[in-house]
Structure 1
Amino acid sequence: MATSRTFKVGAVQMTSINDLHANFTTCSSLVKEAVAAGVNLLCFPENFSFMGAKLGESLEIAEMLDGPIMQQYRSLARDHHIWLSLGGFQEKGPDDKHLCNTHVLLDEAGNIISTYRKIHLFDVDVPGGMVYKESDFTTPGDNIVVVESPFGRLGLTVCYDLRFPELYQELRFQHLAQVLLVPSAFTRVTGEAHWEILLRARAIETQCYVIAPTQAGWHDTKRESFGDALVIDPWGTVIARLPDRLSTGIAIAEIDLSMLDSVRMKMPISEHSS
């Protein structure tokens, strides 16, 4: 597939709640905004379609990828002729007690081009925050995914994956990724401390563009996410940002694959890696 050299991307920032219809309304509005701005690839954060407020809610709404929830988003991509990265969809799992946290990539015709199931699950007692045990209800994936697209080779990841640089090394050096997608719902405590630092590190060490849409603000009375949607170039420079204080919007940037080629040529780390 031939690739464009320059294109516009958008990293969404939003506050999903436990209401499928309300979240879809927000997503629809953001797609329209992105199309009006000339965005070619719009990236949504983890839990874009639903953020459970109670234990078990996400399992209750989980469905197969050919179900009605995903059909709505497929229609959204098709109707507006835009590629959508849907990061962190509650896909029905292997049994009634588990789901998969699935990153779904749609083309401009609404076709599911690829899926990636989150490998690293968030089982953490956050200092000064909540205890999370994603593995209690989520089955981890086991496949690394890179997709050939009109916008370069896209490496698909989800949130907590960001803390495991070996995954991104494999995406770059074994699978030749050019653009890394990191849809997330970082906690406020971890986001304030590590979000931008980790993203810039992943960009620098892989010489890839990084697109990082994120959840932001309070989803219910207990859960708060740290918003700071970012697009970062292969030199590690932040080229678009939506500050945390803005709960809903899009960080829009132009990606130039020629710039990526230039960075890799001037500092050819792929030739020096073992």
Structure 2
Amino acid sequence: MALVSFAASLSLPIAVAAAAAAVRSRAVVLRRAMSSSSVSAAAPARVGVVQMTSVGDIDANYATCSRLTKEAAAAGVKFLCFPEVFSFIGSKDGESVKLAEPLDGPIMQRYCSLASESSIWLSLGGFQEKGPDDSQQYNTHVLIDDSGKVRSSYRKIHLFDVDVPGNMVYKESRFTAAGDTVVAVDSPFGRLGLTVCYDLRFPELYQCLRFKHQAQVLLVPSAFTKVTGEAHWEILLRARAIETQCYIIAAAQAGKHNEKRESYGDSIIIDPWGTVIARLADRLSTGFSVADIDLSKVEAVRTKMPIAEHRKFDSVWKSSSL
């Protein structure tokens, strides 16, 4: 009798624990189902990625951007992504600082009007925004919606101060102030994570955008050098897509801008599995490539490979010293 009573006393907490586990399991399934149904309810969105060769002429660059925007809108694109320094690439040190403007200045207002007239969202990576003083600018990624409103902006955090082997010395911080804020924003194309060029080499930024800011699409407007692009461009982009299970839209500068500067090109769009789903026919031409962003694919990849549930970094990893 005592043995039966003891067994019965054990079975109660075991049954309670089992029931609690079942409830938790059902809750996880329900959250996934709700998330999947809400994401898949949205139709795939057509997006475009631009490749261009900006020069030291604001009007000429705007003419190129305007033409590509109108062509993309006519092709059904709802969101068009331009590369870093889309509006101006100078040939002399400090030239861009003199042209830097606030985001409500006339240069950006032209692009706001372009977005509104074309009924299209624009990602404008690497605008020369007026900095904290007259000697500095910000390298700013600007997001404009289809009504012509600046929806969000991100100031590049990681500045390109390097001596590229076989190339030249770059010192972006000489005229550019670094940003200090991670930016993600909701849009009709999913939750967008904003970055710029050299940020690509710092995976912790992309991990933060995915796991702390719930990004689904990561934007990487760039002007990679020819040397670094040949070595690392595609592999870094595909790695960021795989690690975060996000779409990547990477608009790139291409070709020779002047006697001193040349960019690698190769504008591409990558899906959450790490597959390149759009790119231009070559690395030098000016134009755009198109793909459909389907957020149900983001959810499918994350459900089948649930790294967010397996991730230990925030709660387990601890630093140690000897």
CA contact under 8 A between 2:264 and 2:283: conserved in structure 1?
A: no
For each residue in 1:135-192, what CA deviation from the matched residue of structure 2 results, as whole angstroms up to 9, or x when unmatched? Answer: 0000000000000111110000000000000000000000000000000000000000
In the superposition, the TM-score normalised over structure 1's length comes to 0.98
Q: 1:136 aligns with which of 174, 181, 184?
A: 174
CA contact under 8 A between 1:104 and 1:114: conserved in structure 2?
A: yes
Matched, 1:232 2:282: no
Q: Percent identity?
A: 71
Secondary structure of 1:225's aligned partner:
strand
The structure showing larger relative contact order (alpha-carbon pairs under 8 Å, at least 6 residues apart) is: 1
Residue 88 (structure 1) shift:
0.3
Matches within 5 A, 1:31-46: 31-46=69-84
CA contact under 8 A between 1:227 and 1:243: conserved in structure 2?
A: no
Partner of 1:207: 245
Runs of 5+ consecutive residues of structure 2 not aligned to the other structure? 1-37, 313-322
Secondary structure of 2:292's aligned partner:
strand
Q: Compute the RMSD of aligned alpha carbons.
A: 1.0
Q: For 1:45, give the aligned amino acid.
A: P
Secondary structure of 1:216's aligned partner:
strand
Matched, 1:270 2:308: yes
Q: Which runs of 4+ in 1 moved over 4 A?
A: none
Residue 244 (structure 1) shift:
4.1
Q: Distance in 1 between matches of 2:70 and 2:115?
A: 10
Q: Distance in 1 between matches of 2:281 and 2:165?
A: 23
Q: For 1:179, give the aligned amino acid.
A: V
Q: Distance in 2 between matches of 1:6 and 1:260?
A: 12
Matched, 1:57 2:95: yes
Q: Distance in 1 between matches of 2:281 and 2:197?
A: 18
Higher strand share: 1
Give 1 or 2 for the bigger CA radius of gyration: 2
CA contact under 8 A between 2:195 and 2:219: conserved in structure 1?
A: yes
Partner of 1:166: 204
CA contact under 8 A between 1:214 and 1:229: conserved in structure 2?
A: yes
CA contact under 8 A between 2:192 and 2:215: conserved in structure 1?
A: yes
Partner of 1:82: 120
CA contact under 8 A between 1:5 and 1:151: conserved in structure 2?
A: no
